[in-house]
Structure 1
């Protein structure tokens, strides 16, 4: 499917700001290519629907980041008429905050491509496990000629890169620890009765399934944002309560080492000091992080 070619060659990616605001609508593309991803804040949906891109066949992703302890949500769809479809989503779906629209500047991108990609993208979102799909059913299977299927895989590869560049790694899995792979350095959090295992990545700290911590928060955590985030981890099923302990039910990525330490210890924690390698070196010593990172 061309993943290696797309991912390993140097690329120049252009991000165009139609309104001049980096927080507004953004259009990402490889400078020599025809594939675009348009990022649309929900508040600027009306402005996007006046742009010529809104009249093209597209695969789109509605993203809801949620809070900082739950996996973000995504709805995957396709349409030949965004000016009809998107107002319906705006009226009927509450969770989403941004739309990401995959399209091309060529009319060769047809609804046949879009239908195939809708199903494939939904499948790959589930496989990656970073975002929770909100689609009620799987998209219908589309059998298409091999040349069109090859086009779809190429479109997917480029779209995947553009989405990740914009900050939405929909299809990028958490790196699994498998025998034979180059292993990230294992880190441990064993403060305040915790027994956490994980590793540090460019996206944050991945805490591994089966890591445990204490159930109760210290009194100073009650009513704080950190305490509420920890309770939401339990409510969402990321942490399971077992007596006076909590157990991580799946590998989970935290955007900051301190958030990962707080989730296991039930107290304020400087994750850069709490997470250590097998030799006892702190994550701060290993990565040279700033000295005042406490939650």
Structure 2
């Protein structure tokens, strides 16, 4: 059974574009987010003197779907951020526009804990493939007692809940619908096809599933090798990234894993190699309605 969560947000200076804090009730973590222009104010806050993990983020106009992200840790985040604020020539990092840091509300989060969190956050960001990760090779860090490992896994789960609420979506939990489908196929669950869609035209045979309102193209979906509109935004930015990262096999043009798209149209464009109105072109596998018609039916079936 899924339970709701209560997240407390506080606009420190009363502006949605300023310093923001976030907490989950009964979670020992504390999140701070701020634009780089507010760094002088941010590093004066008591939370910045604690041990923590941080994210430097910028949104690339050349590839707006995939922010540039650097993940780091420190036992004195304020000093580390001051170092990153220097020029590249002085050992800093020029690229970032926003910073988000996660610390503990008490003194129980140690350097060892934070190294564990950093290594696993880097691993999650790489696996999700929703950002341009600027970290080099990250070492696996597992030197924690069993009880501490369990605590840090719970801590990671809460970070994955809070950060997307603040607009940092590169860490949110990715679903694996293909694995679920295999299990539920055997159980003959009649509702499993309610939100499964297909895109079937010449040279293309793709399937997708809507989970928690998000659109996942399923592993094994076929992609058209040719691109008829090379100047389209998704052809210039998204499709090459998916091919380069192996999400789409560049030899057989097939998805090697389930992949979350921002919309049915984004998925359709990447698969077809041209602009796509995904709301019309994706069809529901059980009743062959378009995605648009299926979505409309979901609303009209509700009795008010």
Flag whether TM exceeds 0.5 (same fold).
yes
- Write the mapping of 1:1-295 to structure 2, written as runs, cut at 5 A: 8-66=2-60, 67-68=63-64, 72-90=67-85, 91=87, 92-128=92-128, 130-131=130-131, 133-139=133-139, 141=141, 143-169=143-169, 170-178=171-179, 179-181=182-184, 183=192, 185-191=195-201, 193-202=203-212, 204-218=214-228, 221-229=229-237, 232-233=240-241, 236-237=244-245, 238-239=247-248, 246-278=253-285, 279-288=287-296
State the secondary structure of the residue aligned to 2:216.
strand
Determine the C-alpha separation between the residues in 2 that align with 1:234 and 1:78.
29
Is the 8 Å Cα contact of residues 239 and 248 (structure 1) preserved in structure 2? yes
> Judging changes above 3 Å, is the alpha-carbon distance between structure 1 residues 77 and 175 closer, same or farther for their aligned structure 2 residues?
same
Deviation at 1:172, TM superposition (A): 0.5
What is the total number of aligned residue pairs between the two structures? 278
State the secondary structure of the residue aligned to 1:214.
coil
State the secondary structure of the residue aligned to 2:14.
coil
Is the 8 Å Cα contact of residues 8 and 24 (structure 2) preserved in structure 1? yes
Is the 8 Å Cα contact of residues 122 and 138 (structure 1) preserved in structure 2? yes
What TM-score do you get using the length of structure 1 for normalisation? 0.77
Deviation at 1:282, TM superposition (A): 0.8
Determine the C-alpha separation between the residues in 2 that align with 1:156 and 1:213.
34
Is the 8 Å Cα contact of residues 178 and 218 (structure 2) preserved in structure 1? no
Deviation at 1:103, TM superposition (A): 0.9
Give the unaligned 5+ runs of structure 2: 298-304
Determine the C-alpha separation between the residues in 2 that align with 1:81 and 1:58.
8
What TM-score do you get using the length of structure 2 for normalisation? 0.75
1:169-226 deviation line (CA, Å, top 9, x unaligned): 51502323122247463211124643222112346322234433434444xx454435
Determine the C-alpha separation between the residues in 2 that align with 1:233 and 1:151.
35
- Aligned-residue RMSD, C-alpha: 3.2
Determine the C-alpha separation between the residues in 2 that align with 1:120 and 1:247.
28
State the secondary structure of the residue aligned to 1:45.
helix
Determine the C-alpha separation between the residues in 2 that align with 1:197 and 1:11.
32
Determine the C-alpha separation between the residues in 2 that align with 1:191 and 1:97.
42
Is the 8 Å Cα contact of residues 128 and 173 (structure 1) preserved in structure 2? yes
Determine the C-alpha separation between the residues in 2 that align with 1:231 and 1:241.
11
Is the 8 Å Cα contact of residues 130 and 172 (structure 1) preserved in structure 2? no
Higher RCO structure, 1 or 2 (CA under 8 Å, sep 6+): 1
Deviation at 1:79, TM superposition (A): 0.6
Give the unaligned 5+ runs of structure 1: 290-295
143-152 or 38-47: bigger deviation: 143-152
